[in-house]
């Protein structure tokens, strides 16, 4: 199947293809396939790199000198953007959301943001609500604004393409695909990519914040934008998106002892390292309601290791 002609331009930033590994020891007689997108790179790593390949190609095509984006203090997306920008010789401004008047010492992702010279600006949750206006102003005429999580029509191409990559790797399709959903772009791309290849398998996004209606709306909007810009792509509507609720725990970037104990248990049983903000929460339905996903589910490991170490 060739869809090359419809694809937007892309930079080569991620180490691809990432492997699909079999994890056997989660439950007796059951295999979970894991798409190791935590191996897209060492520091420039995780799901965001796939989105940035398209977004930063667009920034370069428009001769941007600076990229501006936003997220939480430990945002993986911001860290990946800052590192990719440094690699491409672009300036990078990050608006990081924090309720703390003085955020503590830079650790994890924030440490890497600083190391590559990003212009880090802290904003309050109230200011964050006006992030689009704040970022547009900071960008100026020669800046390029990347929305939260890189989740827009262009960024979602990263996971449309990831489905093609996986389809060339697996011998038979898995029984389901499961991923964390935080800003919706990964889930949107996967759902559209699966439909585009006419694969008969459910794609589940596990909400790590907000609720199902929030995400189905985002994905509906991303899909509408994508089909407007690339009419050959299938249209995925809100009611066709499967979002799993019930695993966000205390909320975004907050952990519970049960979540941390599941992360430790998976690590000890299989060597698979999950992060507390995204993958640790998203893997839990596979542990606690495995029957929902059929005999051979595939989990997208979207990265996040620096959040674990922060």
Q: Which residues of the chain form contacts with ligand PLP (CB under 6 A)?
A: 46-47, 76-77, 149, 151, 180-187, 275, 278-279, 302-304
Three-state DSSP state, 264: helix
Q: Which is nearer to ligand PLP, 30 or 58 (CB)?
A: 58
What separation, in Å, do the N-terminal and C-terminal C-alpha atoms of the chain show?
A: 43
- Which of 179, 200, 209, 195 has its CA nearest to residue 237? 195
Q: Which is nearer to ligand PLP, 106 or 291 (CB)?
A: 106
CA distance 166 to 17: 8
Q: Which is nearer to ligand PLP, 19 or 140 (CB)?
A: 19
Give me the least distance between CB of 193 and ligand PLP, in Å please: 13
H or E segment and range at residue 196: helix 185-196
Of the residues 75, 151, 183, 223, which is catalytic? 75
SS3 track for 114-142: HHCCCEEEEECHHHHCCHHHHHHHHHCCC
Angle between helices 212-229 and 185-196 (to 10 degrees): 60
Q: Is 75 a catalytic residue?
A: yes
Q: How far is CA 94 from CA 73, 81, 91, 101, in A?
A: 10, 9, 10, 17
Give me the least distance between CB of 60 and ligand PLP, in Å please: 22
Give me the least distance between CB of 143 and ligand PLP, in Å please: 22
Give me the least distance between CB of 2 and ligand PLP, in Å please: 26
Give me the least distance between CB of 184 and ligand PLP, in Å please: 5
User: What are the φ/ψ torsions at residue 203 (nearest 5 degrees)?
Assistant: -115, 120
Q: Which residues contact 112 (CB under 8 A, 6 or more apart)?
A: 43, 79, 82, 83, 306
Q: Which is nearer to ligand PLP, 186 or 223 (CB)?
A: 186
Q: Which is nearer to ligand PLP, 20 or 78 (CB)?
A: 78
Q: Could you give the residue numbers annotated as active site?
A: 75
């Amino acid at each position: 199947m060739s869809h090359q002609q419809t694809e937007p331009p892309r930079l080569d930033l991620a180490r691809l293809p990432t492997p699909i590994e079999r994890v056997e020891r989660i439950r007796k007689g059951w295999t979970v396939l894991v798409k190791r997108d935590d191996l897209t790179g060492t520091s420039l790593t995780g799901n965001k790199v796939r989105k940035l390949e398209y977004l930063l190609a667009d920034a370069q095509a428009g001769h941007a000198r600076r990229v501006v984006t936003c997220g939480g203090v430990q945002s993986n997306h911001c860290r990946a953007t800052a590192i990719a920008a440094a690699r491409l010789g672009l300036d990078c401004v990050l608006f990081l959301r924090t309720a703390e008047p003085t955020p503590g010492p830079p650790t994890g992702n924030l440490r890497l943001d600083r190391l590559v010279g990003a212009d880090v600006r802290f904003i309050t949750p109230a200011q964050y609500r006006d992030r689009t206006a704040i970022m547009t102003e900071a960008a100026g005429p020669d800046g390029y604004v990347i929305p939260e999580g890189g989740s827009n029509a262009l960024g979602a191409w990263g996971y449309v393409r990831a489905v093609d990559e996986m389809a060339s790797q697996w011998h038979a399709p898995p029984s389901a695909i499961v991923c964390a959903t935080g800003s919706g772009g990964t889930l949107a791309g996967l759902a559209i990519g699966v439909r585009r290849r006419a694969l008969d398998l459910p794609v589940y996004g596990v909400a790590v914040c907000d609720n199902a209606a929030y995400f189905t709306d985002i994905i509906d909007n991303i899909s509408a934008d994508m089909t407007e810009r690339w009419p050959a792509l299938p249209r995925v509507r809100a009611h066709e998106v499967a979002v799993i609720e019930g695993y966000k725990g205390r909320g975004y970037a907050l952990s519970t002892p049960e979540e941390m104990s599941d992360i430790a248990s998976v690590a000890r049983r299989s060597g698979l390292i999950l992060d507390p903000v995204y993958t640790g929460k998203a893997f839990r339905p596979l542990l606690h309601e495995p029957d929902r996903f059929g005999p051979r589910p595939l989990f997208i490991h979207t990265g996040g290791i620096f959040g674990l170490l922060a």
